[in-house]
A and B are shown apart, each in its own frame.
Chain A
Amino acid sequence: MTRTYGPQHAIEFREVTLAFGDRVILDNVSFEVGRGESKIVMGGSGTGKSTILRLALGLIKPDAGQIFIDGEEITDHNEEQLMRVRQKIGMVFQEGALFDSMTVYENVAYRLREQKVPESEVEPTVRQMLRFVDLEHAIFQLPNELSGGMRRRVGIARALVGSPKIVLFDEPTAGLDPITARTICELALKLRDLENVASIFVTHRLQDIEVLSSEYVTRNEQGDVEFHKENDEVCLVNTRFIMLKDGQIIFSGSDEQLNEAPDPYIRRFLQRRG
């Protein structure tokens, strides 16, 4: 199989290896995420799923291999150069990782204030982002007054400030009730289908996988958002899967291929369904 590299990919990992001491976290991992594409990264706990996101952000450096963001190699970037690259990326952390000394407003406004954007422009953007995650009413609350689901939605709003074309989700639905988890998946769908955002979505919940691989979003003539299910006429091509096991990619492809994959680990993983 030939592999094409270049700026057509939003994110690209080329033979990335990372070990902490004797423990190999990622072993020669290569994949790419196209523009506007969602890559769902699955795997058991401790298989290096979150590590991939930290590598993509440049928070940690690989021991070997190359990482490209928007066609630019970031492997050897220093912190200052990384700051520039990180402006293209929004990251949603597992528990939200909100700054607990700041209100929801200040959390969402954080990036803009750091960039010295005048306050008159900050407020409308913050309100717009909070409206997107349906939390405008919580604008002056502190993170510890919010529920787990609300905190993650604020985390999403904060990540989306500045309209990044790449968004990384680190198990955004873990430990949430099914309805809130679905709300978060719907936000990811809206980003993928309406905003053309490339994303890596780390999860091990089969319900998320189901929603992200079989539903899509359109906007009707009134400008309202409509959710549809994949059927015989429409097949989603902008969502693809990676399965990690012991630091290696054991599967890469579409949901149809995933369901037919013969690997016993994948079969066991998928049988937890229901």
Chain B
Amino acid sequence: MNLLYNTIYQLQEITLLTWRALRSLFRPPMYWSEMLKQMDVLGFGSLAIILLTGTFTGGVLALNSANTLQRFGFTNQTGELVATSLIRELGPVLTCLMLAGRVGSGIAAELGSMIVSEQIDAMRALGTDPVKKLVIPRIIALLLMAPALTVICDLMGILGGLFVAVSQIFQATSVYMASAQRAMTGNEIIGGLLKPVVFGFIIAIVGCYMGLSTKGGTVGVGRATTRSVVVSSILVIFVDFLITKLLIATILGYD
């Protein structure tokens, strides 16, 4: 009963924080420099892990799918399989799971320590709305950076697949790339970009909420960090299912 109560309570608080953020989104003052800083820290800072994640995921996909396709004599389709899997599913989900781990935890820890050391109170006492100064720049940064990183992840994955296709199954580059290109239709790309926008928002708002609701000193900061990663990862996977269902029902339906 307590768990149910807590879940509903947290959902309500996250919704309220979202509402407060949306309401003050376009009201001055805007903290442009803070937004740019967060894009750099949260987005550009995650580039390295996304490059690695993308490359190896693409490589593994090519290895596995080539193995299976070989039985049916369809190895020339490897590119399409790799690209479709990446653009539809693995690119957005893996990128955002990595972001939930690296960035979501960082947001929760930073805001949590600011709560514990009374910096958020000090900020309010000095006439700044912490939602405007801290929450909105992080939301905007992730709304823009999560899709950007997903595109990079997709691209690196396709290149990783290419490397495996050329070096392990001795496919011609042109065969692989032509096959991969078939996967890149407009609707696929729209679907593949919609997901990280939603996931980025989830990671930012959950991280901010967990950080700002920190209680109980430094132990509380640790708890908030863990909870932020767990909740946003689960939400990413759950919402991914919903969006996929929605996309298949609308633009990605089977012919």
B-contacting residues of A (Cβ < 8 Å)?
54, 57, 59, 79, 83, 86-87, 89, 91, 93-95, 97-100, 110-111, 114-116, 158
Contact = CB atoms under 8 A, between A and B. Distances in A.
Interface of B: 29, 117-119, 121-129
A100 B127 CA distance: 18
A114 B126 contact: yes
B124 A93 contact: no
B216 to A, nearest CB: 13
Contacts, number: 49
A59 B126 CA distance: 11
Contacts of A57: 121, 124-125
A97 B127 contact: no
A116 B127 CA distance: 12
Contacts of A114: 29, 126-128
Contacts of B117: 95, 97, 100
Contacts of B125: 57, 59, 86, 89, 91
Nearest to A85: B127
A159 to B, nearest CB: 8
Contact of B127 (A95, A99, A115): A115
A137 B195 CA distance: 51
Give me the 5 closest cross-chain CB pairs, A-B, nearest first. Answer: A97-B118, A97-B122, A91-B125, A111-B126, A93-B118
Contacts of B29: 114, 116
Contact of B119 (A54, A97, A116): A97
Given A79-B129, A95-B117, A86 B124 contact: yes
Contact of A95 (B118, B124, B128, B129): B118
B127 A83 contact: yes
Contact of A97 (B121, B128, B129): B121
Contact of A111 (B118, B121, B127, B129): B127
Nearest to B123: A99
A91 B122 contact: yes
B212 to A, nearest CB: 13
A83 B119 contact: no
Contacts of B123: 99
A173 to B, nearest CB: 16
Contacts of B121: 54, 57, 59, 91, 93, 97
Contacts of A59: 121, 124-125
A115 B118 CA distance: 21
Contacts of B122: 91, 93, 97-99, 158
Most buried by A among B29, B117, B122: B122
Nearest to B20: A79
A191 B118 CA distance: 24
A116 B30 CA distance: 12
A97 B120 CA distance: 9
Nearest to B131: A79
Nearest to A82: B124
Nearest to A170: B118
A97 B126 CA distance: 12
Contacts of B126: 86, 110-111, 114, 158
Contacts of B124: 57, 59, 86
Given A115-B127, A158-B126, 18 more contacts: A57-B121, A57-B125, A59-B125, A83-B129, A91-B122, A91-B125, A93-B122, A94-B118, A98-B119, A98-B122, A99-B119, A99-B122, A110-B126, A110-B128, A114-B126, A114-B128, A116-B29, A158-B122
15 contacts: A54-B121, A83-B127, A86-B125, A86-B126, A86-B127, A91-B121, A91-B122, A93-B121, A95-B117, A97-B121, A98-B119, A99-B122, A110-B128, A111-B126, A158-B126
A209 to B, nearest CB: 24
Contacts of B128: 110, 114
Nearest to A84: B127
A172 B210 CA distance: 29
A150 B225 CA distance: 31
**Which interface residue of B123, B124, B125 has the most chain A CB atoms within 10 A?**
B125
A98 B122 CA distance: 8
Contacts of A99: 119, 122-123
